[in-house]
Structure 1
Amino acid sequence: MTTKHIFLDVDGTLVSYENILPQSAVDAIQQAQDNGHKVYAVTGRSKAEMYEEILAIGLDGYIGGNGNYIELGDQVLYHKHLSLEQTTAIVDWLKSRNLEFYIESNSGLYASENFEERGKQTIKDYIAYKGQDHPEQATIRGAFPEMIFGEDPYRDDVNKISFILNSYDDYLAAKEYFSDYQVGTWGGVGEKALFGDVALPNINKQTAIKQLLDHLDADKKDTVAFGDAKVDLPMFELCEIGVAMGNGGEEIKAAADYITDAVEDDGLYNAFKHFNFI
């Protein structure tokens, strides 16, 4: 049997946007590992958001920060983060525009002073956009259960910084001001985006997977990527097979070799069976 290297996005792929991890997904991963395959998480989440129930699965490795961090077993292969000087410049600029934000670090997620209050409606809109049930019940603390409040945002261990958009102009201004960085949006398409983020340039899920494959001396033809969103497209461009979740966006589905069911409908388990991983 040929060992397959299986790369899983987390939000909208491994877990729902309400942070629900289906037992069928856990079963699929562990059965695939028992059959000799390797399974890795590839996510925008920093290590602080890899909560215990995800770590307890026993994944073979983890790529975080959309590519700025690579962990294989207990070994950290790569970690490139913002410096204190870079973080300070970004935080000061966000404050100057009255934009609430949170710092994404492996040690934790650190909210700006008024992030929870400002984000009340934003997180409801985000959950509704993702098609989840009862978006009116969504809260910041429900979406980010271990977020830290009241801490100093000026840090030297920051992977990226996400901020709530008051308008699309905030994203355009950030993109212009931080032209040497990677500035993006999420939580909506185009001018309907809810969040912006700032990270180091020339790093994405594809660059990290390539580094990991090189380290393992693994062949690209033995790779499979699972995702649900535009940020997963670089994975699909590199990996031999791209699998889109049924709850995914139109762009990722158009790029996929196979479309499985939604997260909540045992999408991972059903796709693992389809490809004979289990």
Structure 2
Amino acid sequence: MIFPRIAFLDVDGTLIDSGEVIADSTIEAVQTARANGHLVYLCTGRASVEIYAKIRDIGFDGAISAGGGFAEIGDELVISRTMPEEAVARMVDFYDESGYDFYLQAFAELYPSPGVRGRFASYLQDDQARRGETRTDLESVTGEHEHPALKAFADVRPLSFTGIAKSVFLAGDLSAFDRVTAALSGDFHVITGTIPHMGKGSGEVTLGGVNKGSTILQLLDKLGLDASRAIGVGDSNNDIEMLQVCGVGIAMGNATDAVKAHADEVTTSVLDDGVWNAFRRHGLI
């Protein structure tokens, strides 16, 4: 008899590499694990709208998005941990006063400040050399000639102060993270950026207590599963709480040293069969 496990997979640096390509073995691992009766969930800092169709089409049982702000079972939104309007206003006011670019994540919408698209476009341009080194036999999950993030970040419109679960602030100023932490950390959870190309001073902000790990525990309760049956796989700072609450926390081979320090074990890197090796080791495939 198979006693099902549940796996939570980060997206950037875990499911896909920084060039947004995915190893064939990763797709095979996810699909085989599910065929074997196990559950596989995405667990990402991306908003739901940033989980591109080619990622979802791999097949998952649900997703945690916006760094723990939302959780879906199948395509049903079952957990929403959004900020009070006054908290969003306070955060935005600070960004505006500091001159930082930022974007807000709702469940199905992004609200960028005017400079975000330019930052991302510059990254894509500067990254061409590295992308040329990315394995060309692997498929890109963006699936479009124009990167979908460029379209999303070009949609600058009045901000929403309702339904916001997370913000990402973008700055080249190394003191930006310290300044945001000093200004907001009393009520908010502030971590260093998991998208380093968007600026060395960048970071992510959720409400205090809202992170991937705490939302995993809420989701497991809804599913009637114990955390000891859970496997978390990630590579970035916003994955640390996930690795801590899951029965087995696995860091990718390309993870930061801080993430590896909180993991029970380390698998191989993202394009070196990291997810497949982790699933194989724990009997999901």
Query: Residue by residue, what CA displacement relative to the aligned partner does 1:208-265 show, whole Å, maximum 9, x if unpaired?
Result: 1111111122122211111112221212221111211111111222333332221112
TM-score in terms of structure 2 length: 0.84
The match for 1:162 among 158, 165, 168 is 168
Q: CA deviation at 1:40?
A: 0.7
CA contact (8 A) 1:109 1:146 kept: no
Q: CA deviation at 1:168?
A: 3.1
**Other structure's SS at 2:175 match:** helix
CA contact (8 A) 2:188 2:208 kept: yes
Tell me the distance in 2 between the aligned counterparts of 1:107 and 1:248.
Answer: 28
Query: Residue by residue, what CA displacement relative to the aligned partner does 1:103-138 show, whole Å, maximum 9, x if unpaired?
Result: 22222323211223345556788x79xxx6569xxx
**Other structure's SS at 1:106 match:** coil
Q: In the alignment, does 2:42 pair up with 1:35?
A: no
TM-score in terms of structure 1 length: 0.86
Structure 2 vs 1, CA of residues 60 and 75 (structure 1 numbering), >3 Å: closer, same or farther? same
Tell me the distance in 2 between the aligned counterparts of 1:156 and 1:188.
Answer: 25
* Structural mapping, 1:42-121, within 5 Å: 42-118=43-119
**Other structure's SS at 1:253 match:** helix
State the partner residue of 1:248.
255
State the partner residue of 1:184.
191
State the partner residue of 1:16.
17
CA contact (8 A) 1:8 1:40 kept: yes
State the partner residue of 2:6.
5
Q: In the alignment, does 2:174 pair up with 1:173?
A: no
Q: What value does the CA root-mean-square deviation take over the aligned residues?
A: 2.6
Q: CA deviation at 1:33?
A: 0.7
CA contact (8 A) 1:91 1:153 kept: no
Structure 1: which 5+ residue stretches go unaligned?
136-140
CA contact (8 A) 2:121 2:150 kept: no
CA contact (8 A) 2:254 2:268 kept: yes
**Other structure's SS at 1:263 match:** coil
Tell me the distance in 2 between the aligned counterparts of 1:92 and 1:167.
Answer: 18
State the partner residue of 2:215.
208
**Other structure's SS at 2:77 match:** strand
Q: CA deviation at 1:159?
A: 1.7
The match for 1:147 among 148, 152, 155 is 152
**Other structure's SS at 1:78 match:** strand
Query: Residue by residue, what CA displacement relative to the aligned partner does 1:180-208 show, whole Å, maximum 9, x if unpaired?
Result: 1222221489xx93312322111111111
Q: CA deviation at 1:57?
A: 1.8
Tell me the distance in 2 between the aligned counterparts of 1:186 and 1:42.
Answer: 16
Query: Residue by residue, what CA displacement relative to the aligned partner does 1:37-79 show, whole Å, maximum 9, x if unpaired?
Result: 0111111111111110111122111111211211111322210
CA contact (8 A) 2:194 2:238 kept: no
CA contact (8 A) 1:99 1:166 kept: no
Amino acid of the structure 2 residue aligned with 1:268: V
Structure 2 vs 1, CA of residues 118 and 30 (structure 1 numbering), >3 Å: closer, same or farther? closer
**Other structure's SS at 1:243 match:** strand
Structure 2: which 5+ residue stretches go unaligned?
134-145
Q: CA deviation at 1:165?
A: 2.2
